[in-house]
A and B are shown apart, each in its own frame.
Chain A
């Protein structure tokens, strides 16, 4: 295709850190590399410990195509296993959650305990001739560690512990998540038609708050551009903070009752931390939201949203907390559907190369609507992937 001169934009000389090629969203080889170098090696936020409140509570989920099951053992420790049977490979547990001392495969009734040991094989005599014993048939265990009540998994046995990986990035949540008093009251998931990074970017791009009528009314105040700060941590984690919301500025919404603020939070506080690569934790005084995005393929993602409040909430307080959470963040909220619309719209731009790159070039000294969070995210992507985001297809580093 030939374009007449002048129809394509020309850019001034820009550092590689300020431009992201469209190929990072569309190239299949890059996506396969991400599965290995990013999702195969980084800590992944699987769930909150309140989802596994009692001994033998379990949660099942898929992680880059692998069925997994996290279960709280009789000893109180959360462990994760591949949710696939050692016999003929069937997915063992189909329900998203439950409680069971024995995980029994529906197919030939092999059973496993809370440590992943195979504890029962019906009519085992027939395996004697081949020397197969149930002790050899345990479930494959995946590394699992809990940090501030968040349950993380890692497919890489050599990765550093999750506390080292996160470093100081979750310090702003130490009093809230670390209180042990929180539980998940909202869970929602959706398949979105865009590359997984497009969702993470909605939580990194400060400039886009103009898109949200609700944020224009409640948050983009005069002073807030100077008081807000962007911070970067080791391993690509970032934080946006120093924001205050004026909830009563939006029609139909009211100022938050200070009595409902979560531990360590003021009622009007708003800040958020993005955990590299695929999680975001957002605190508004009365509710916390946790997003986790995982790719299905290079153009499809699964987003999971959680809302957290206090375990001890009365029914009335919980209802109000749900309202606060869902005004912004529910599937019928004013913000999240707009972010999802934006992520899918960018995919339409990049999918067939109509958009060739995006700009992450805003510099406001780490304040206001600086693109520093996006740049920090892509700097880590470059380090892990051995590719420059500006030029990702011709800079393949050896393993």
Chain B
């Protein structure tokens, strides 16, 4: 929701300082796994801080998430969450289109008084992203 609203400070606030974020994609053309975005906490913070200065695609992205599996390891206070997502893009004229479909593999740190996102793998099914995006998925 914070990313949808492009409230990057709020998003970073939900991430653990050990945050490990990757967008991964498999290419059947070269038969290899690829990492299209690879950031730690500081890297993600810097990247998001710079976004407003860039020439970026107009309109908004909206992430629709369905949680499939939650696995809670009470001793480690870590929950692993697998969710399916699609992201739609809505242009300034209000026309929405599917931008990308994929699966989140998340780890949530449940130790503190707030749950923090510790690890996110956004694995994409969609490989043609049109003009692409400055904003993570």
A184 close to B (CB within 8 Å):
yes
State which of A9-17, A131-139, A165-173, A338-346 sits at the interface with chain B: A338-346
Cβ-defined contact, B28 with A332, below 8 A: no
Q: Scan A332-361; emit 1 where CB is below 8 A from any B CB, else 0.
A: 111011101110100000000000000000
Q: Scan A251-270; emit 1 where CB is below 8 A from any B CB, else 0.
A: 11000000000000000000
Pick from A95, A251, A331, A341: contact of B28, CB below 8 A: A95
CB-contacts of B1-60 with A (<8 A): 23, 25, 27-32, 34-38, 42-43, 45-47, 49-50, 53-57
Min Cβ gap B20→A in Å is 12
Give the distance in Å from the alpha carbon of A96 to the alpha carbon of B102 in the complex: 20
Cβ-defined contact, B38 with A326, below 8 A: yes
B133 close to A (CB within 8 Å):
yes
Give the distance in Å from the alpha carbon of A243 to the alpha carbon of B12 in the complex: 35
Cβ-defined contact, B130 with A332, below 8 A: no
Chain A residues near B35: list those with CB within 8 A. 319, 322-323, 326
Chain B residues near A184: list those with CB within 8 A. 30, 32
Cβ-defined contact, B54 with A332, below 8 A: no
Q: A186-B34, A252-B43, A322-B34 are in contact. Are A331 and B133 (CB under 8 A)?
A: yes
Q: A188-B127, A252-B42, A337-B57 are in contact. Are A332 and B133 (CB under 8 A)?
A: yes
Determine the residue in chain A with the shortest Cβ distance to B27. A187
Cβ-defined contact, B131 with A341, below 8 A: yes
Give the distance in Å from the alpha carbon of A47 to the alpha carbon of B67 in the complex: 39
Determine the residue in chain B with the shortest Cβ distance to A95. B28
Cβ-defined contact, B28 with A96, below 8 A: yes
Determine the residue in chain A with the shortest Cβ distance to B35. A322
Chain B residues near A326: list those with CB within 8 A. 35-38
B129 close to A (CB within 8 Å):
yes
A192 close to B (CB within 8 Å):
yes
Give the distance in Å from the alpha carbon of A322 to the alpha carbon of B23 in the complex: 12
Cβ-defined contact, A331 with B34, below 8 A: no
Q: A213-B54, A319-B35 are in contact. Are A190 and B131 (CB under 8 A)?
A: yes
Q: Which of the listed residues A251, A331, A341 has the most CB atoms from chain B within 10 Å of its own CB?
A: A331
Give the distance in Å from the alpha carbon of A191 to the alpha carbon of B126 in the complex: 13
Q: Scan A157-183; emit 1 where CB is below 8 A from any B CB, else 0.
A: 000000000000000000000000000
Min Cβ gap A80→B in Å is 16
A185 close to B (CB within 8 Å):
yes
CB-contacts of A221-241 with B (<8 A): none
Cβ-defined contact, B30 with A337, below 8 A: no
Cβ-defined contact, A332 with B134, below 8 A: yes
Chain A residues near B129: list those with CB within 8 A. 188, 190, 331
Q: Scan B64-98; emit 1 where CB is below 8 A from any A CB, else 0.
A: 00000000000000000000000000000000000
B113 close to A (CB within 8 Å):
no
Q: Which of the listed residues B25, B47, B50, B131 has the most CB atoms from chain A within 10 Å of its own CB?
A: B131
Cβ-defined contact, A323 with B49, below 8 A: no
Residues of B at under 8 Å CB distance from A?
A: 23, 25, 27-32, 34-38, 42-43, 45-47, 49-50, 53-57, 127-134, 136-137
For this complex, 30 residue pairs linking A to B, each with C-beta atoms less than 8 Å apart, are: A96-B28, A97-B28, A185-B30, A186-B30, A186-B34, A187-B27, A187-B29, A187-B32, A188-B127, A190-B129, A190-B131, A190-B132, A192-B130, A213-B50, A213-B55, A251-B49, A252-B45, A252-B46, A252-B47, A319-B35, A326-B35, A326-B36, A331-B129, A332-B23, A333-B132, A337-B56, A337-B134, A338-B56, A340-B130, A341-B56
Which are the 7 A-B pairs with shortest beta-carbon distances? A252-B46, A340-B131, A337-B132, A331-B132, A332-B37, A331-B129, A96-B29
